Structure 1
Amino acid sequence: MHRRLVFEDPVSRAAVWSRRLAWFALVVLLLSLLLVRLREPSIEGLAPVAGAYVFVLLALGLALVAFVRIWREGHRGVGMAAGALLLCLVLLAPAGYVGFLLATRPALADISTDIDDPPAFSRSMAALTARAGRIPPDVAPARRRLQRQAYPKIAPIVLEEPAEAAFALARKAVTALGWQVVDVARPGGRSGAGRIDAVARGRLLRFSEDITIRVKPRVDGSRIDIRSASRLGSHDLGANARRIAAFAEEIDLLQER
């Protein structure tokens, strides 16, 4: 009785290492994001995240090499290479979305519903302490006009309620959105305007953004203006505009209740 030997094609080493490297990249990326959340936010602090994506790209390249070798030489390992490729694409999706926002959104980091007379940030001790002594700088009129072109729906909130009622609505909206109130001035005084200063933090990286809300009385009610400014970088990826839109939507919801 003769025993027949069966020779199997070798497994592609590129496929094996692409899978290993893809999972290693996932671990490095998760650890780097955790590190960014725990440290003081800074542009330089994003370096570990960028480093993690180097491993993602290497794993992606190995997966593509594995597919080529499997096709040409008949090696095994299609499943490993496909799994690595899928994982790399999932990890690259957030970076791709950020790239899309960089390409489609203007390089703005300070958005206001009033581009002619933006609300001023409080300079009280409590507000300065919460902002680590930072006062968002004034934005040139040309940059404000760029905002109008990019976000035409960002506009003042005009209410029929008196300033006191509008101020109460704004305060409730800030609380509902989870922003940290750092300074408050009720409507009245020489200008008649009220003010709420707050700090909002991102859900993932916990970057802090500064917000000031101005409530002014009008003959037929009141007007609310809000300004949101990023602390880091010159491009907010549209975050400040989205934050202002969320505030306006919350005001609408509170009025309907």
Structure 2
Amino acid sequence: MLLRQIPEEPVSNAAVWCRRLGLFSVPVAAIAVALARTHAVEPQASLAVVGGAILIALIAMLLFFAACVIIWQTGRRGLGDALIGFLLAALTLGYPAYLAAEAVRLPVLSDISTDLADPPQFSLSSAALRARQSYRPRAFSPDAAEAQRAAYADIEPIVVDLEADEAFQLVLDTAKKRGWRIVDQRPPNGRSGVGHIDFMDRTLVMGFDDDITVRLRPLAGQTRIDMRSTSRNGRHDFGANAKRIRQLAEELQEGLTDR
């Protein structure tokens, strides 16, 4: 008696390509991040690579849904491959999807200041220009002030119960803990007693350079600290600059309690 083997159903091509493209999107995104963080290419080039990774991941997502339909209608195999591709594509798209949601929720701003009437100005000294590799931060746009007030009503000057020289050192210590690089500094002195510090920070994922300036003005037994944080790349900061100012304010207050 001969046993006849029933042939297996073929694998869905859509499922196979979903897995391949999902798997490919992850290293492409990782390469883009590595290129940006090491400054191996210009930011626009690394963002173009990110765009390629997003496109590949989106195609993998479409192939996942196509594979599900094909498998349901024809009984072909490949659901496991399709699920793997879907999960890898979702991993690639996770952070860009978060930024897209923030872009919808928040106004198009990339320069945030605690003082909208008289925002702190960035130093243009030779030392500052060398540290920024000749980059000059853009001038603050008065047109953005109203949008900032509506979106970030909590962003306001920081007042600490310290003399200006003590507050100056507190800012330096706090910035050092945050990993900010000092670009230029001018301690409080002279007739006005105003102090000034410029820093550079890096964005969390891509490592792009952002510019920060802090101005300290003495008050009666206190010091007013104004901060301005601006992004170099793109018109939208996705809330990063306001977050940076909030974090500095919180950490300065924590530093006061430790003294």
TM-score interval w.r.t. the shorter chain? over 0.9
| 1:19-49 CA distance string (max 9 Å, x none) | 1121112122222222222324423431111
Letter in 2 for 1:105: L
The number of residue pairs the alignment matches comes to 257
Letter in 2 for 1:99: A
| Aligned positions of 1:130-209 closer than 5 A | 130-209=131-210
> Does structure 1 residue 30 correspond to structure 2 residue 36?
no
> Does structure 1 residue 232 correspond to structure 2 residue 233?
yes
Q: Which moved more, 1:103-112 or 1:84-93?
A: 84-93
Give the match for residue 17 of structure 1: 17
User: What is the CA-CA distance between 1:4 and the residue it aligns to?
Assistant: 3.0
| 1:87-124 CA distance string (max 9 Å, x none) | 21222111111111111111111111111111111121
Given that residues 115 and 145 in structure 1 are in contact (C-alpha distance below 8 angstroms), is that contact kept between their aligned partners in structure 2? no
User: What is the CA-CA distance between 1:173 and the residue it aligns to?
Assistant: 0.9
| 1:154-198 CA distance string (max 9 Å, x none) | 111111211111111111111111000111111111321111111
Give the match for residue 119 of structure 1: 120
What is the percent sequence identity of the aligned residues? 42
Given that residues 183 and 198 in structure 1 are in contact (C-alpha distance below 8 angstroms), is that contact kept between their aligned partners in structure 2? yes
Letter in 2 for 1:10: P
Cα distance in 2 for residues equivalent to 1:134 and 1:35: 20
Give the match for residue 100 of structure 1: 101
Long gaps (5+) in structure 2: none
3-state SS of paired residue (1:63): helix
| 1:61-91 CA distance string (max 9 Å, x none) | 2111111110001111111112211221222
3-state SS of paired residue (2:43): coil
Long gaps (5+) in structure 1: none
Go from structure 1 to structure 2 and tell me whether the alpha carbon gap of 1:223 and 1:71 turns closer, same or farther (over 3 Å shift).
same
Letter in 1 for 2:44: I
Cα distance in 1 for residues equivalent to 2:141 and 2:184: 26
**RMSD after superposition:** 1.5
| 1:192-226 CA distance string (max 9 Å, x none) | 11111111112321111111111110024111111
Cα distance in 1 for residues equivalent to 2:139 and 2:57: 40
3-state SS of paired residue (1:209): strand
Give the TM-score normalised by the residue count of structure 2. 0.94
Given that residues 43 and 233 in structure 1 are in contact (C-alpha distance below 8 angstroms), is that contact kept between their aligned partners in structure 2? no
